[in-house]
Amino acid sequence: MHIRKPTVLRDVSVFDKKHQLGKGTYGDVFMGADKDTKAVVALKMINTQQEGNYGFPITTIREVKILKALNHPNIVKLKEIVTSKEQNAIPKSVYLVFEYHEYDLTGILGTREIRLSQDHIKSWSMQLLQGVHYMHVNKIMHRDLKSANILIGRNGELKIADWGLARTWNEKMEKLTNPVITLWYRPPELLLGCKKYTPKIDMWSVGCIIAEMFRRKGFLTGRSDASQMELIFKTLGHPATESFPDIHEVCPQWTKYEPKSKEHILKSRLQETLRSQLPNPRWVTNNAITLVQNLLTYNPAKRWSAAEACQKAEYFYEEPAFKPAKELSMSFGVKAAHEWGLPSRQAAERQMQQRK
């Protein structure tokens, strides 16, 4: 039997810590550079002493475990873990060291100088679906897909980041945490109290992100659970019992919102909404609408999976057909763009708003 020498983690002083890139639930994200190799990285600080709770947050243990198990071009890579230099046994902070990417999707969409083409939207939609498909095949739900957690590199490659809420999943799970996914990207079954959900919750978020790329701003932007639900009904109409027969079992709070009579039933206005107030209305083709429609489907059992979206969506194959990352033009004239750096910190305030 071999006794392995315990791994000694490097301390964070091996990096030059630069400016802040973002803010997570359990700590801030900074840009850093390895003092020896000069390689640029993203440092996610995990505070091990939060709220007097000494030790490693369970969400971080989960995040590390999941990232170690996943290996895909569209999923962010965890390079190493480093600690702060402390005298005592438990370091005050632990840092997850990730590959660095110049942009996140919120930063790109919110930076006017960046000119996007149909190619960008189509390629990033496909790359996002491919990353989500890989994760779902490996029985993992992300549970916080949103444009701020989608990183884009200078090479046009998309990476799914921030796995703090992710978890493994199987069909037998009866009671899962309900308040997950940032409000604007949260599917109706969660808003209506569902605790036995499936990876299809992530697919609703993907639909919202694709719609957001066309609009260059949030799609379903409620301020509270109730206003979010109202906005979903105004945009997509009320769910029909024929297409969602087990709605009462899946959505325990549906009775609170169920229309009292036929006159009160709202019809879907998705097509008009998707095509209104757009920088480039022609880009939202009928096939693009079909894709979003199948992702924003009330009944999770009928909502497209990532595999179905990649295979069935004509949108990716109509002209101009989707291009791989290496064929995208990435001359944005802006060196970096992240949510955190948007004017007047509106993004940070918005996040606070969505978490209430």
3 state SS for 41-107 = EEEEEEECCHHHCCCCCHHHHHHHHHHHHCCCCCECCEEEEEECCCCCCCCCEEEEEEECCCEEHHH
CB of 97 closer than 8 Å to CB of 77: no
Q: At what angle do helices 200-215 and 286-295 cross, to 10 degrees?
A: 150
**Which DSSP string do the residues of 305-340 spell out, in sequence order?**
PHHHHHHH-GGGTSSSPP--GGGS----S-S-B-GG
Look-up of token digits 């057909």: 321
CB of 30 closer than 8 Å to CB of 45: yes
Q: Which two tokens stand for residue 210?
A: 């694709």
N-to-C CA span, the chain? 53
Look-up of token digits 């884009």: 152
Residue from 43, 225, 218, 231 nearest 147 by CA = 218
Q: List, in order, residues 6 or more apart from 321 with CB less than 8 Å away.
A: 122
Q: Which residue out of 144, 162, 202, 246 is catalytically annotated?
A: 144
Map residue 181 onto helix, strand or coil: coil
144: annotated active-site residue: yes
- In eight-state DSSP terms, residue 139 is T
Active site members:
144
